[in-house]
Structure 1
Amino acid sequence: MSAEANQSGNFIKTIIQDDLEQGRHDHIVTRFPPEPNGYLHIGHAKSIFVNFGMAEAFGGDCTLRFDDTNPEKESQEYIDSIKRDVEWLGYEWKGPVRFASDYFDRLYEYAEELIRNGHAYVCSLDPETAASYRGTLKEAGKNSPYRDRSVEENLDLFRRMRAGEFAEGEHALRAKIDMASPNMNLRDPILYRIRFLHHHQTGDKWCIYPMYDFTHPLSDAEEGVTHSLCTLEFEDHRPLYDWVLENVTPPCRPRQIEFARLNVNYTITSKRKLMRLVNEGYVDAWNDPRMPTLSGMRRRGFTPASIRQFCDMVGINKTGGTVDLGMLEHAIRDDLNKHAPRAMCVLHPVKLVLTNYPEGQRESLTVPVHPQDESMGTREVTWTRELYIDQNDFAEVPPRKWKRLSPGNAVRLRGGYVITCTDFVQDDEGNVTEIHAEYDPATLGVNPEGYKPKGVIHWVSAETAVDLELRLYDRLFGVENPGADKERDYIEDLNPENLVTLYGCKGEENLAEPRRDIAYQFEREGYFFFDPEVSDGDRIVLNRTVTLRDSWAKVSGQ
């Protein structure tokens, strides 16, 4: 059963179920309405999960609509990236991709309807003065001197605004609600402003643009949305959402319902702050694997199923709070542990010479692709006289309870033979540069009586090894709540070890053409995913998706 179909007990599902049972709706329509002014991040994943998941749970539809009312910050790049991310997460929107700009003509008609009914007026206060008239949370605002213009004058001025006769900031269309309202959003909010900007969808047709709080409820209505599901920061905007729909004649009356947004520690999701990281070169791009963007997570090797599972684990509620990043990492590990193929890779290679193995001889050893899933089949690895093992798997003087290779001790090489260390070579600085050992030809797949190798280590053939560049990604920020200290720049909270690059790593021959659909598990090292963005020719780059250690599962008792 999918996570979407298993969303039991959340309050939104209860509301929708009641609406259906009471006959208020016979078909559920939701929507995902991102602004195309940046890439989607992990916080958006929950909104996608909720809107598409609720529609799926009730056999309804979910549309994808771009709220493109601010062309100054929007671009086709962001539109394309958002579509890719939604599709990658495994969701399919109903009908064509929609834009709020599709409804600009209709929105203009609604605006004139408000004017004719005495619910909107053209205000000629400059922006600074208008802001001062708005009041504060403790003090009521005061009416604009232009609030009582006649309907005829307002219509004339508004039409001339549309015709481009006035400069930016010279006039604005405002709702006539209540300047003394305790809800600041109801103090005669701006509905339209003059902006001489080229729009990525409508070109130069418009020089006035509707504001988000006016556009959103009417776009929902035009699309037949039954439940407008959004995060808690829009709760104070709901009275304005309802006011707009009550004072025009829309085709339907959607219901806005708010849920807690997804906040994750060690993470920021402010588009402005993320954009700064990109523009100032702290990361390479929006899809940098260190970024909390969905495109960055995809490039790092996160799976759609794991992100959906994470959203399901977080749950849908009204209570805000911060989720432990370890929960997301646990969801990734849980999914990859079940589905990731295994491969051997030596991150810090040192040569191992089997002195009693014939020179020039090769053997093909068969090992499982996944030790717990026989359906994934087997793979072949090559055994030769000269191999590579990891420097960390050898100790000249082994510590207590050492279970890897040391002089005079035996270990099994994963999927191969038992070997015993006989000697090693050091350089002038005391670094081990070569290890000598003997293999026991009677130990392939078995432990003869009396043999008790202390451990199993991974290896690759020196003859067939593939050179790899591995990028070890860690948390982008080194503090739990980046930017919480207002006395310092949040850039100072970046983790200086968020990326360590290892060159000259040695992988088994099956990594010469790595899979591009899922990460590999490298024994004891973590999960690694091929990065086509930077790999080129013989340069093969894999990004570490996540380590194998799962501290969150231990803490949470999973």
Structure 2
Amino acid sequence: MSSAPDSPRAAAPSNFIRAIVDEDLRVGKYAERRWAGEPGPADLHRDALPDPAAIRTRFPPEPNGYLHIGHAKSICLNFGLARDYGGRCHLRFDDTNPEKEEQEYVDSIVDAVRWLGFEWRDEQEDNLYYASDYFDGLYRMAEWLVEAGHAYVDSQTAEQVRETRGTLTEPGRDSPYRNRSPQENLRLLREMRDGRHAEGTHVLRAKIDMRSPNLNLRDPALYRIRFASHHRTGDKWCIYPMYDYAHPIEDALENITHSICTLEFEDHRPLYDWLLERLADGGFFTRPLPQQIEFARLNLTYTVTSKRKLQQLVEFGLVDGWDDPRMPTLVGLRRRGYTPEAIQLFAERTGVSKANSWIDMGALEQALRDDLEGKASRAIAVLDPLKLVLTNWPAERIEPCEAPVHPQRPELGRRRFPFARELWIEREDFAEQPPKGFFRMFPGNRVRLRYGYVVECTGFEKDADGRITEVRAEVLEDSKSGTPGSDAYKVKGNLHWVAAHAAVDAEVRLYDRLFDQPHPDAGGRDYREALNGDSKRVVRAMLEPSLAGTPPEARYQFERHGYFVADRVDSKPGSPVFNRVVTLKDSWGGGR
């Protein structure tokens, strides 16, 4: 889904961010903006054509990990706004921290955003950017701030900076280096840039107000010394900008109109505005400037989204990697079998708010069910096979049966599979001594084999350990589904099955929630204590023959069992491996 201006889209639910955008467009707040076709300061855009985008938003991940479901909401919000309002959404990598960033994460983020259905490139523009592309300009602006008296080089130790910062109830104290002359500050900044000082000896700080009630305005750091190689710029730089310095400037360089972030950055907005106003005074940017808007982040039950904790899950071997289908990462959700449409539907249903709240995992799972219900082909799988022998059915007789590919979509046609003397049924569908209300197979009872015949159970066999190894039954010849008179048989049990000679023997991974507690790390608890021991179970299943050639990522509803997907890594045509995506009904409604 491109965010090009002419992309058709049904009206989206309103929220406070859309109300802001609606008002900005109504009054023409950004109507006079110009766009040179690439990011840059005011001089670059001054003589350019009017900006073709009504608004510009951005999704600015730091490439230091894999995106998770919380990022997906931000992606859907930012790209969705641009799409719906005839704008553009930029994908920008905030790669200002050289010690944590890797190309592996850049590639995974690009893949994840595109998988979700969004695009930053069209016929007119390619809006993929890196903060590191702006390092030269960021540094020039830092020098201007120093010369204008808005920034200074502080030579306190990190501990001294902490001690003089103050607290929420006590004001901070000025650094003894706060009143250095602009000339001296500029000399020190250039020496920092040239690698003449060790890490931790100096830091460039904004000169704002050490007594401000907002701690973010107490002379925040703008640049620090780091002798670290950057994944894109190599060893060119040994000073790197802080996020709070780089982020607003990047927005302004890219002509961003609405800079949308989560609520933890609300207290940073005064710094965002202070910095851009000073740089606009210096001629770097024209007004109106980008505006930061905060919304509540997605808090989902039965999971953790902390990068540190997700990293631990992988490093401690508690999951099978970043793309483990139980992980909340987008690569994990994709491998689990989630669809982009389901995630977009979930993001739309949960809405946008200024108030933090918890969303139950069941809401995400239900969005997936609602999406797959209309699109997933049906199939039969026996997950715990038990042999059923039809004693009055000749061994050489093979009879075709058929069923709809999708019961509500006749245009998809019908699928065919054989009926034979030996079948596989679910072990749980037979009881030697049935409990009250059990209508499936037991000695003397009749059941219908779905899409096939009514059979009557005549006996069973056990092994030396007392385990049922085989069930026997007789077929009622005039009871085949769809034939005249077959509805004369009134039975309550309806079992699914596959013919033993044609069944596809496959590995099926039965996934469930990774944690069995809604808030795994609540109250400082070790989240690992809440791991669900039943979150993964691997079985050998018998599948209907049409599934033998299933390509990776093909999704099905296995009748009675839930929705399943051919694993995108391990499944191969001729040797399928299926993952359970989600059960047909929510089994966690009241917790466990």
Q: State the TM-score, normalized to the length of structure 1.
A: 0.96
| Corresponding residue for residue 489 of structure 1 | 526
Contact map agreement 2:450 2:494 (CA 8 A) in 1:
yes
Q: Matched residues in 1 for 2:143 and 2:357: separation?
A: 42
Residue 25 of structure 2 is aligned with which of 20, 29, 36?
Answer: 20
Deviates more, 1:12-21 or 1:124-133: 124-133
1:11 corresponds to: 16
Q: Equivalences for 1:224-243 in 2 at 5 Å? A: 224-243=255-274
Q: What CA distance in whole angstroms lies between the structure 2 residues aligned with 1:166 and 1:184?
A: 28
CA distance in 2, matches of 1:3, 1:290: 35
- Displacement of 1:539 in angstroms is 4.8
The answer for unaligned runs of 5 or more in structure 2 is: 2-6, 32-53
Secondary structure at the aligned position of 1:272 is classed as helix
Which stretch shows the higher mean deviation, 250-259 or 74-83?
250-259
3-state DSSP of counterpart to 1:38: coil
Matched, 1:370 2:370: no
Residue in 1 that maps onto 2:4: none
Whether contact under 8 Å (2:171, 2:213) holds in the other structure is: yes
Displacement after TM superposition at 1:551 (Å)? 5.8
Deviation of 1:550 after TM superposition, in Å, equals: 2.8
Contact 1:4–1:49 (CA under 8 A) maintained in structure 2: no
Change (3 A) 1:3 1:438: farther
SS at match of 2:460: strand
Cα distance in 2 for partners of 1:395, 1:313 equals 43
1:515 Cα offset (Å): 3.8
User: Which residue in the other structure is 2:34 paired with?
Assistant: none
TM alignment of 1:344-493, pairs within 5 A? 344-446=380-482, 448=486, 450-486=488-524, 488-493=525-530
Return the alpha-carbon distance in structure 1 between the equivalents of residues 588 and 293 of structure 2: 31
| Segment drifting more, 440-449 vs 157-166 | 440-449
Q: Which amino acid aligns with 1:236?
A: D
Q: Which moved more, 1:346-355 or 1:421-430?
A: 421-430
> Are 1:5 and 1:53, in contact at CA under 8 Å, matched by a contact in 2?
no
Distance 1:3 1:377 in 2: 31
Question: CA 1:77–1:231 in 2, change beyond 3 Å: closer, same or farther?
Answer: same
Q: Which amino acid aligns with 2:423?
A: L
- RMSD (CA atoms): 1.9
Counterpart of 1:55? 82
Asked whether the 8 Å contact 1:235–1:258 carries over to 2, the reply is: yes
SS at match of 1:278: helix
**TM-aligned CA distance change 1:234 to 1:5, over 3 Å:** farther
TM-score normalised according to structure 2 size: 0.90
Structure-1 separation of matches of 2:553 and 2:507: 19
Bigger mean CA offset, 302-311 vs 436-445: 436-445
Distance (Å, rounded) in 1 between the aligned partners of 2:490 and 2:575: 40
Higher mean alpha-carbon deviation, 356-365 vs 299-308, is at: 356-365
Aligned residue number for residue 212 of structure 2 = 181
Contact 2:553-2:567 at 8 Å conserved across structures: no
Residue identity in the other structure for 2:260: L
Q: Alpha-carbon deviation of 1:478? A: 1.5
Give a deviation string over 1:209-260, Cα, whole Å, max 9, x none. 0000000000011111000011111100000100110111343410101111
Shift of 1:451: 1.4
- Look up the match of 1:74: 101
Q: What is the CA–CA distance in structure 1 between the aligned matches of 2:373 and 2:590, rounded to whole Å?
A: 16
- The one-letter amino acid paired with 2:11 is N
**Would the alpha carbon gap of residues 491 and 118 (structure 1) be closer, same or farther in structure 2, given more than 3 Å must change?**
same
Aligned letter for 2:275?
A: V
- Matches of residues 276-315 of structure 1 in structure 2 within 5 Å? 276-315=312-351
In the TM superposition, 1:114-133 aligns within 5 A as 114-133=145-164
Contact 1:224 1:251 in 2 (8 A): no
Within a 5 Å distance, the mapping from 1:194-205 to structure 2 comes to: 194-205=225-236
Aligned counterparts of 1:242 and 1:551: Cα–Cα separation in 2: 48
DSSP 3-state at the match of 1:73:
coil
1:116-148 per-residue CA deviation (whole Å, 9 max, x = no partner) reads 110000111111111111111111111111111
The 5 A counterparts of 1:139-288 are: 139-249=170-280, 250-252=284-286, 253-288=289-324
Residues 527-547 of structure 1: CA distance to partner in whole angstroms, max 9, x if unpaired?
Answer: 111113234686532111111
* Counterpart-to-counterpart distance in 2, 1:270 and 1:518: 31
- 1:37 corresponds, among 57, 64, 67, to 64
Distance change >3 Å, CA 553–CA 515, structure 1 → 2: farther
Counterpart position of 1:103:
134
Q: Which amino acid aligns with 1:462?
A: A
Unmatched segments (≥5 aa) in structure 1: none
Q: Which residue of 2 aligns with 1:83?
A: 110
- Deviation, 1:375, is 2.0
Deviation at 1:506, TM superposition (A): 0.7
Task: Report % sequence identity.
Answer: 56
Letter aligned with residue 96 of structure 2 = T
